[in-house]
């Protein structure tokens, strides 16, 4: 889907907020249904995961303490049967010795989060449940009118 580049939102999320929920709330408040988002900062007690195609379920990993938020990359779009903006985000996290962990973001308490959210206008992809349980965008040829 080809969409228009709107404005850039540069903002810091409050300490203590959940990173994922706060990003979605920002989009909801700003009337954003599609975006590409990046962030850096630091988080506490992140819960990350990886989708296991063999079992059709996410494996979750809960990390303790503070982590640098080295990369957050992902998108905001719509999803069938879901009210409002839906965020899909992947993160890379750094410990205090330079070691790195990462995964699909389930939850993380904001320590510092500087966000660059590129609002996209003129349409939003809509996720559709797949046979394997994932909520995915239609492929190019499958998009509805």
Residue 7 touching its own copies (CB under 8 A): yes
Residue whose C-alpha is closest to residue 34's, from 119, 100, 94: 119
- How many chain residues touch its own copies (CB under 8 A)? 64
Residue 37 half-sphere exposure, CB side, CA atoms within 13 Å? 33
* Number of Cα atoms under 13 Å in the Cβ half of residue 23: 32
Which residue lies nearer to its own copies by CB, 81 or 98?
98
* CA-closest candidate to residue 95, choices 59, 43, 38: 43
Decide if residue 128 touches its own copies (CB under 8 A): no
Contacting positions for its own copies (CB under 8 A): 1-12, 14, 34, 36, 38, 40, 42, 48, 50-53, 59, 61, 63, 66, 68-71, 73-75, 77, 88-92, 94-104, 111-112, 114, 116, 118, 120, 125, 134, 136-140
């Amino acid at each position: 889907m080809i969409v228009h580049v709107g404005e850039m939102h540069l903002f810091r999320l409050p300490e203590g907020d959940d990173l994922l929920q706060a990003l979605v709330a920002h989009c909801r408040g700003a009337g954003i249904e599609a975006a590409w988002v990046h962030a850096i900062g630091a988080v506490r007690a992140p819960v990350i995961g990886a989708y296991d195609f063999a079992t059709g379920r996410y494996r979750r990993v809960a990390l303790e303490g503070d982590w640098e938020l080295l990369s957050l990359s992902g998108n905001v779009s719509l999803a069938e049967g879901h009210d409002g903006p839906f965020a899909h985000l992947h993160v890379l996290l750094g410990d205090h010795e330079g070691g790195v962990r990462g995964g699909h973001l389930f939850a993380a308490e904001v320590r510092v989060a500087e966000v660059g959210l590129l609002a996209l206008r003129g349409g939003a992809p809509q996720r559709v449940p797949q046979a394997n349980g994932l909520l995915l965008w239609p492929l190019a040829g499958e998009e509805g009118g």
